[in-house]
Structure 1
Amino acid sequence: MAKLLLGTAVILLTCLELGSAYRLVCYFTNWSQYRPGPGKYLPENVDPCLCTHLIYAFAGMKENQISTIEWNDVTLYHSLNGLKNKNGNLKTLLSVGGWNFGTQKFTAMVSSAGTRQIFIKSVISFLRGYGFDGLDIDWEYPGSRGSPPQDKLLYTVLAQELMTAFEAEGKSSGKPRLLLSAAVAGGKNNIDTGYEIPQLGQVLDFFNVMTYDFFGPWSHATGENSPLYPLPNDKNTLNIDYNVNFAMNYWKDQGAPAEKLNVGFPTYGHTFRLSSSNTGVGAPASGPGLAGPYTRQAGFLAYYEICTFLKGATMKWNAPQMVPYAYKGTEWLGYDNVESFKDKMEWLKKNNFGGAIVWDLALDDFSGTFCNQGPYPLINTLHTGLGISAACVPSKTTLAPAVPPSQAPGGGGSGGGSGFCAGKANGTYPDPKDKNKFYQCINGVTYVEQCAAGLVFDPSCVCCNWA
């Protein structure tokens, strides 16, 4: 009964804070800006009222400190966090890592208490300096891909030390504590190898379970990207494990609180090249299908590209797994649509999970021009079904940590190279008169930044640091 009351209290608190008992966590990718034409995606394309949390992917790491990756990350940070001016309840997090990042830098960083503290201090100053509300750890995966077995324990230690530091900084600064989430594996082997689940369940604010990429063109047979259930009467162990139902319940059964678990929803599908006349699930395949015109990756289609593919294709509903598939010529596609999102969402609510994560915003039909279902048809299905509040109240204070050039010290011009940053290269510069402040120069425009209370700008790491 005590556990039930506690869970109810958590849900009620979340409901009061967000207007819904569920989280809708959406990833924004900093490489979607490079897609051509209508596939290009920037913070101004984000609907600030669509999701409860936005996660910016990805940040990197240099010398055990969190760092930018793209040349214009700082500009995108300002734009994304500026969305909180339109939705005062919106929370933003910065994700470090990702699949391409690998494991080596994570392994080096967690290897000693000293290097972990270097990372943690840099994270706090970085998040506060750029206006984020938290950190998402996307280590794929502790104990795998060259990461040694001891990283399973050290991953827990890192999470515990991050939370301890976040709590202390929140108290000292008087600001709301920074949030801590983790993007975690959906495959049983990677789960077993990488995570001390009960301990993490006590520390993390929520888990973003990547319940997708269960099957793809790397497989030797066609399969669904994110099936809800296994195929019936299938004795293959991978097929039994590789589905949303198994992965989410495995996390819960191993000790993760259900209300902290977010179910992964992909806004993309995988294509295969058929190698026989068989067109069903499990048909022989010989590699990836053709790349989409906008995402330009073989074996991968964004939902808006899928809508184009489906014209002239044979569409089937995979009833046992509650997801669709389609084929056209030698191309086979496993994907999600509005109906499969609805089914998974009802399953999510029935099983009392905490919410949904979406990978990713830029892959839905964000403009509404390809699928004739309105903007963000997949994510809006989740938004409506999870009861996310349609009321989007502007923030009472400006949350983006920037001011116009005319208001910056030494300013007064009309932009385009006036003020402190006139004639300066893009970059970060200390304020010569105030160690707590620094300047971001972006194309001649001056942005005034301020470190959190008790921190000073440190040019050696280009970050806020303890004095």
Structure 2
Amino acid sequence: MSKIISGYVADWGADSLIASDAKKMDIVNYAFATISNGKAVESWIHVDKLLAFRSNNPDLKVLVSIGGWAADGFSQLAATASGREVFANSAIQLMLKYDFDGIDIDWEYPGLSVSGIASSPEDKYNFTLMMEEIRAQLDVLGTQNDKKYLLTMAVGSDDSVLRNLEVAKLSNIVDYANLMTYDFAMGLELLTQRYQTNLYSEPVIAKRSVDNTVKRYMAAGMHKKKIMIGAAFYGYGLTNVNIWENNMAVMLGQTARSLQYTYTRIYNELIVEKGYTRYWDSIAKAPWLYNGNTYFTYDDPESIKYKGKYVWSKDIAGMMFWEYSQDKTHTLLEAMYRELK
């Protein structure tokens, strides 16, 4: 037996794909197609590299991932039946153009304009209707082609996101829900929420966690066999901070500066070159780095191992990650593969 490994591959990072990794993954979410005039349109320039990568594993499913942070247009097209129908058809035509295996919707986020996109209180219901339309068209096509096409969605971990989703209805529509169980804290939030992708919560701080997110989605009606927890192939840092005293970070007397590094840079520059000290939180199951001035929170092979064990213990679908090219050491996917396969 094994669990599902699903990863986002951004077009801009397709150069980093290596053949051996194709057999370690079940699903690739190819990011991102965008929305123009209510239709899904490609914005790729390296799709040939993805297709070459796919050829190394005939069982690998590739989905066209539509949307992403600050991708506008969902709220408008989902507001009418005709808009939903046109969009679903355009997404399927794009999928068929490259003989992909399904569609991943990354609307960040229905009912919210946090990234500057248009939103409406009706997004909560229109999102469900849009996903129903895509599912219906995929099922018709699947019957014609004798093939199962996948429909997945990327969803956030905040309560504000959950309140704007009809989770129980969506559970009956999608094949997998990719829970974005990362970005729990970034920037100055790291002063009070210690980790960006911790598995468990702490008694005082780091109250957001993978486990809490899974429990809230299941309580809202998401079937466990459709839940994919997220791992981050990048991390956040904060300069000019003292280490936590009485469960709170203390400023060093200067303005803190936030940082975002890929795992490649974290490993090569901070761990290998600069020799940051690595610490491990045995409660949160999260690593962190510190050099007396700068703090970093990230995923590493050990934290991913525990996330994999969590997948098995909760009997959920598997694990997904953002984003492939951010780990050129290829050790994070390897850790995922060893634990889930």
User: What TM-score does the superposition give when structure 1 sets the normalisation length?
Assistant: 0.67
Which amino acid is 2:98 matched to? Y
* Alignment match, 1:390: none
Structure 1 window deviating more from structure 2 (308-317 vs 153-162): it is 308-317
Residues 1:23 and 2:4 aligned together? yes
Is contact 2:102–2:151 with CA below 8 Å preserved after alignment? yes
Q: By how many angstroms is 1:278 displaced?
A: 4.6
SS of the aligned residue for 1:60 comes to strand
The RMSD of aligned alpha carbons is: 2.0
- Can you give the 5+ residue segments of structure 1 that lack an aligned partner in the other structure? 1-19, 34-40, 290-298, 369-375, 388-467
Report the secondary structure of 1:28's partner residue.
Answer: strand
User: Which amino acid in structure 1 is aligned with residue 216 of structure 2?
Assistant: Y
Using the alignment, how far apart are the partners of 1:345 and 1:144 within structure 2? Answer: 31
- Equivalent in the alignment of 2:299: 336
Deviation per CA, 1:429-456: give whole Å up to 9, x if none: xxxxxxxxxxxxxxxxxxxxxxxxxxxx
Write the letter of the residue equivalent to 1:221: L
8 Å Cα contact 1:44-1:79 kept in structure 2: no
Structure-1 residue corresponding to 2:108: 140
> Which of 13, 22, 47 is residue 32 of structure 1 equivalent to?
13
AA of the residue aligned to 1:309: L
Cα offsets for 1:92-111 (capped at 9, x unmatched) = 0011111131xx41111101
Partner of 1:200: 170
Partner secondary structure for residue 50 of structure 2: helix
Distance of aligned partners of 1:268 and 1:377 in 2 relative to their CA distance in 1, 3 Å threshold: same
| CA offset digits 1:185-206 (Å, max 9, x no partner) | 11222112x2101100001010
Post-superposition Cα deviations, 1:149-174, rounded to whole Å, max 9, x if no partner, equal: 110000000111111111111223x2
1:58 CA displacement: 0.7
Question: Which of residues 96, 109, 116 in structure 2 aligns to 1:128?
Answer: 96
Whole-angstrom distance in 2 between the partners of 1:347 and 1:362? 25
Is contact 1:220-1:284 (8 Å) kept?
Answer: no
- Quote the residue 2:197 is aligned against: 226
Equivalent residue number for residue 134 of structure 2: 162
1:68 aligned partner: 42
Instruction: Tell me the alpha carbon deviations over residues 355-385 of structure 1, each in whole angstroms, 9 at most, x when there is no partner.
Output: 0001111112x3x4xxxxxxx1111111111
Q: Does 1:305 align with 2:265?
A: yes
Q: Is the contact between residue 93 and residue 136 of structure 1 (CA under 8 Å) also seen in structure 2?
A: yes
Equivalent position SS for 1:139 = strand
Partner of 1:52: 26
What does residue 160 of structure 2 align with? 189
Q: Does 1:325 align with 2:288?
A: yes
Change (3 A) 1:322 1:258: same
How far 1:77 moved relative to its partner? Answer: 2.3
Deviations 1:75-99 (A, max 9, x none): x223313333221111000111111
How many Å separate the matches in 2 of 1:281 and 1:354?
34
Written as runs of structure 1 = structure 2, the 5 A alignment for 1:147-296 is 147-172=119-144, 174-192=145-163, 194-219=164-189, 221=191, 223-232=194-203, 234=204, 239-240=206-207, 242-276=208-242, 278=244, 282-284=248-250, 286-289=255-258
Q: CA deviation at 1:314?
A: 2.3
Q: For the residues of structure 1 that align with 2:19 and 2:210, how far apart are their CA atoms?
A: 29
Partners of 1:279 and 1:90 in 2: CA distance: 47
Q: 1:269 to 1:281 in 2, by over 3 A?
A: farther
Matching residue of 1:37:
none
Task: Quickly say closer, same or farther: Cα 1:218–1:132, change in 2 above 3 A.
Answer: farther
Assess, with a 3 A threshold, how the Cα gap between structure 1 residues 80 and 43 changes in structure 2: closer, same or farther: same
Q: Which structure's CA Rg is the greater one?
A: 1
Q: Give the conservation status (yes or no) of the 8 Å contact 2:181–2:210.
A: yes
How many percent identity over aligned positions?
26
Alignment partners' CA distance in 1, 2:196 and 2:31: 21
Q: Secondary structure at the match of 1:190?
A: helix
| TM-score normalized by the length of structure 2 | 0.91
The structure whose residues are more often helix, as a share, is 2
- The 1:324–1:280 alpha-carbon spacing in structure 2 relative to 1, beyond 3 Å, is farther
- Which is worse superposed, 213-222 or 299-308? 213-222
After superposition, give the CA deviation of every residue in 1:319-368 in whole Å (9 maximum; x if it has no partner). 2211111112421101121111111211221011100001111112x3x4
Cα distance in 1 for partners of 2:335, 2:125 equals 38
Q: Provide closer, same or farther for how the CA distance between residues 277 and 271 of structure 1 changes in structure 2, counting only shifts above 3 A.
A: closer
| Alignment check: 8 A CA contact 1:213 1:225 kept | yes
**1:381-402: CA deviations, max 9, x gaps?**
1111111xxxxxxxxxxxxxxx
Write out per-residue CA displacement over residues 235-264 of structure 1, whole angstroms, 9 at most, x where no aligned residue: x7xx43x11110011111111110110010
2:60 to 69, 80, 90: 90
Secondary structure of the corresponding residue to residue 54 of structure 1: strand
User: Which amino acid is the alignment partner of residue 154 of structure 2?
Assistant: A
SS across alignment from 1:86: coil
Matches within 5 A, 1:400-439: none
Is 1:377 the counterpart of 2:337? The answer is: no
For 2:304 and 2:321, locate their aligned partners in 1 and report how far apart those are by CA, in whole Å.
11
CA drift of 1:32 comes to 2.8
Structure 2 gap segments, 5+ residues each: none
> 1: CA distance between counterparts of 2:70 and 2:19?
25
